[in-house]
């Protein structure tokens, strides 16, 4: 079982939503579409579903060309951020509705409804109607109905965005287990890099209607092919500064420099962009093997247990994630440091030429 997109593109009113795209998704895989709002995630899912027809290219399910096939004739289920339920039906009947269309027996329907209700914490409200339950419960009902169909392709467009934090975290763990058991192809759209890492599987990074990179989630995170993908797969977006390499030394604009290891020393001399994630920028504490910069504090954001600092350094705006609740005065000069082992290097064409080999898998996406 596979879903293949070959040269698929989509425009509307003269605006390109999806540039020519090739993707191949295999049976039993979780595939996360990761990108900011308006990057093309929903447009790409609508093409996969058959809700929209591509302007160019073809879509294949196994070896069958389904480009012109109606959505109702495809083996798919969809879950949207904005839930859709049948208002006159109970939660039980909403979940059961696609199974009845499939002519399942009463026993099969009840077993599947109970299974989905247990997974999505819906058992206490199975006899309620949508207008009698909360928005989060309605979204879970819509998810249960889609997942109960046992179809080959499940498309989920930011389905957890409207749920409370605790349930969202629980479902992020349960969804990968669910897709592994079903053997379906799952496509899951999100704006959150951390969610993409937690779900695992494969990630397709999207930017302005283009898939910039597709591969195993950990590989895309650790080795983004270019600056755009690095920004997409970092939250906050990756920090950058222009540097110059001369021999085994990298020079920063403020006069700081650092020695390169043997693997990086062989890169051609010249200009590069150095990139690093927010959790790699620290307050200076005099530790060896770090580069120290002086920066002007612009904004602080308290997250509850950590502090985001926005600073200006060497004509660049950086964001750092500092442990603990920090008290700073806006406009003050601060000393910040960076371990050179955490630096990604990109060439003049913004392509990755070197990356750290010890990036964490889930911490501080």
Residues 156 and 207 in one domain: yes
Does 330 fall in a domain?
Answer: yes
**b/e 65-101 (16+ beta carbons within 10 angstroms → b):** ebbeeeeeebebbbbbeebebeeebbbbbbbbbbbee
Please check whether residues 102 and 52 belong to one and the same domain: yes
3-state secondary structure of 43: helix
DSSP tag of 351: B
Q: Which of 178, 210, 226 is the last residue of a domain?
A: 226
> How many C-beta atoms lie closer than 10 Å to residue 162's C-beta?
16
- Which of 319, 154, 332 shows the shortest CA–CA distance to 239? 319
Same domain, 32 and 162: yes
Q: Are both 144 and 19 inside the same structural domain?
A: yes
Record the tokens describing residue 129, joined without a space: 């109607």
> pTM of the prediction?
0.88
pLDDT in tens, the chain (365 residues): 799 999 999 999 889 999 999 999 998 899 999 999 999 999 999 999 999 999 999 999 988 999 999 888 888 988 887 777 899 999 999 999 999 988 999 999 999 999 989 888 899 999 999 999 987 788 889 888 988 888 889 999 988 887 788 878 887 887 777 777 677 899 999 999 999 999 989 999 999 999 999 999 999 999 999 999 999 999 999 999 999 999 999 999 998 899 988 878 888 999 999 999 999 999 887 676 789 999 999 999 988 788 999 999 999 999 999 888 877 888 999 999 999 999 999 999 999 999 986 444 444 46
- 109 & 6 share domain: yes
Pick from 209, 226, 243: which residue ends a domain? 226
Task: Say yes or no: 37 and 138 in one domain.
Answer: yes
Instruction: Please give the tally of structural domains in the chain.
Output: 2
Distance CA 31, CA 48 (A): 13
In angstroms, rounded to a whole number, what is the distance separating the alpha carbons of residues 172 and 255?
45
Last residue of a domain, one of 226, 255, 285: 226
Structural domain containing residue 303:
234-354
143 and 89 in one domain? yes
């Amino acid at each position: 079982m596979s879903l293949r997109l070959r040269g698929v593109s989509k425009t509307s009113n003269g605006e390109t939503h999806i540039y020519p795209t090739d993707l191949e998704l295999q049976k039993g895989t979780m595939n996360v579409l990761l990108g900011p709002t308006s990057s093309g995630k929903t447009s790409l899912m609508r093409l996969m579903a058959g809700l929209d027809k591509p302007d160019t290219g073809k879509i294949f399910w196994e070896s069958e060309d389904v480009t012109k096939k109606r959505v109702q004739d495809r083996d798919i289920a969809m879950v949207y951020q904005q839930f859709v339920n049948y208002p006159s039906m109970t939660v039980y009947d909403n979940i059961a509705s696609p199974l009845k269309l499939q002519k399942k027996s009463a026993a099969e329907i009840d077993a599947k409804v109970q299974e989905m209700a247990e997974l999505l914490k819906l058992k206490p409200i199975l006899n309620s109607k949508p207008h009698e339950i909360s928005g989060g419960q309605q979204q879970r009902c819509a998810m249960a109905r889609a997942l109960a169909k046992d179809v080959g392709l499940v498309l989920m467009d930011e389905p957890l965005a409207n749920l409370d934090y605790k349930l969202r975290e629980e479902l992020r763990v349960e969804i990968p287990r669910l897709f592994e058991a079903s053997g379906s192809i799952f496509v899951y759209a999100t704006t959150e890099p951390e969610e993409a890492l937690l779900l695992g599987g494969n990630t397709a990074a999207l930017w302005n209607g283009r898939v910039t990179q597709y591969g195993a989630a950990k590989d895309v995170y650790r080795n983004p092919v270019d600056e755009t993908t690095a920004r997409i797969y970092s939250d906050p977006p990756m920090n950058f500064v222009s540097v110059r390499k001369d021999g085994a030394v990298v020079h920063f604009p403020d006069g700081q420099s650092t020695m390169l290891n043997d693997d990086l020393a062989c890169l051609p001399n010249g200009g590069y962009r150095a990139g690093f994630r927010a959790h790699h920028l620290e307050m200076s504490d005099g530790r060896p093997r770090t580069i120290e910069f002086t920066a002007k504090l612009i904004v602080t954001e308290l997250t509850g247990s950590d502090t985001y600092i926005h600073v200006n350094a060497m004509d660049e705006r950086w964001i750092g994630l500092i442990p603990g609740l920090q008290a700073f005065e806006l406009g003050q000069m601060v000393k910040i440091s960076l371990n050179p082992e955490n630096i990604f290097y990109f060439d003049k064409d913004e392509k990755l030429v070197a990356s750290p080999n010890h990036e964490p898998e889930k911490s501080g996406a």
